[in-house]
Chains A and B, each alone.
Chain A
Amino acid sequence: IERQDLMSLYYPKL
């Protein structure tokens, strides 16, 4: 998993 996208793993992009 790219570290760059860690937060968007947990919460959906709006």
Chain B
Amino acid sequence: MFEARLLRGSILKKVLEAIKDLLTQATFDCDDSGIQLQAMDNSHVSLVSLQLRADGFDKYRCDRNISMGMNLNSVAKILKCAGDKDTVTMKAQDNADTVTFVFESPNQEKVSDYEMKLMNLDLEHLGIPETEYSCTIRMPSAEFARICRDLSQFGDSMVIACTKEGVKFSATGEIGSANIKLAQTASVDKEEEAVIIEMDEPVTLTFACQYLNYFTKATSLSPQVQLSMSADVPLVVEYRIQDIGHIRYYLAPKIED
């Protein structure tokens, strides 16, 4: 028996919004530590890694490890039927070929359940080692979303250059060029609003705007985003999900022709 109940059901709605444009299907791997999902987008340029810890749920039971392959469009359709304040419960029997989503309104007056067929997905998993990055940048997630949106008007790719002075986002295209520089916040009143840079070595890498824009669909999950970069390895864009886990996106840098 698998059962995961979340009073803050809107978290699951936001998680689906954060992955459904990038992934068409994915496997939710559930064990007694929680729910994990790892999947590459169709073109294998980026990778999504989601972790929701068991202790972040209001009730969590997983008697046997189960892997539930799901069509994410279908999951998104179902979760759209949940109210923002609803409690969401996912449950499945051992060896089941369906999963059930139960939504309860705050006053318990409306209870809905949606049963969805599971899929057998034979997807590759990649081993991502713990890595020390040359630069990590923490900044408001809404600011990062704004920068990605603004710069993608200028070109298909964006250069992110991090030095100890700050971080510069640049794009160049037919209409011209754009540069946005963010300095490290001098004094931090509210950590959520700060730009904080930790740098061992300066790094400059180029990424596809389209994917960065997909990643910013996670903005509502966290007020802050963390970018981690080292030369010649994928960028990590991480949104922490309060008290329950995180979603990380990995994006391979563009290599100059």
Query: A: which residues have CB within 8 A of B?
Result: 3-14
B127 interface neighbour in A4, A9, A11, Cβ under 8 Å: A11
Given contacts A7-B40, A11-B129, 18 further A-B contacts (CB under 8 A): A3-B45, A4-B43, A4-B44, A5-B44, A6-B252, A7-B126, A7-B234, A8-B44, A8-B126, A9-B252, A10-B234, A10-B252, A11-B47, A11-B126, A11-B128, A11-B250, A13-B124, A13-B126
Bound-state Cα–Cα, A13 to B234, Å? 16
Chain B residues, CB < 8 A from A9: 252
Give the number of residue pairs across the A-B interface with Cβ within 8 Å: 43
Looking at chain A's contact residues, the main secondary structure is: helix
Bound-state Cα–Cα, A9 to B40, Å? 13
Looking at chain B's contact residues, the main secondary structure is: loop
> Residue of A at shortest CB range from B126?
A11
Q: How many residues belonging to B are interface residues under a CB distance threshold of 8 Å?
A: 16
Chain A residues, CB < 8 A from B129: 11
Chain A residues, CB < 8 A from B234: 7, 10
Known interface pairs A6-B252, A7-B234, A7-B252. Does A14 touch B44 (Cβ–Cβ under 8 Å)?
A: no
Taking CB atoms and an 8 Å cut-off, the chain B residues in 120-171 that contact chain A are: 124-129
Q: Give the top 8 A-B pairs by smallest Cβ distance, nearest first.
A: A11-B126, A14-B125, A6-B252, A12-B127, A7-B44, A14-B127, A7-B47, A6-B45
Could you tell me if A12 and B43 are in contact, using CB atoms closer than 8 angstroms?
no
Known interface pairs A8-B126, A10-B252, A12-B127. Does A3 touch B233 (Cβ–Cβ under 8 Å)?
A: no
Bound-state Cα–Cα, A4 to B16, Å? 24
Could you tell me if B45 and A7 are in contact, using CB atoms closer than 8 angstroms?
yes
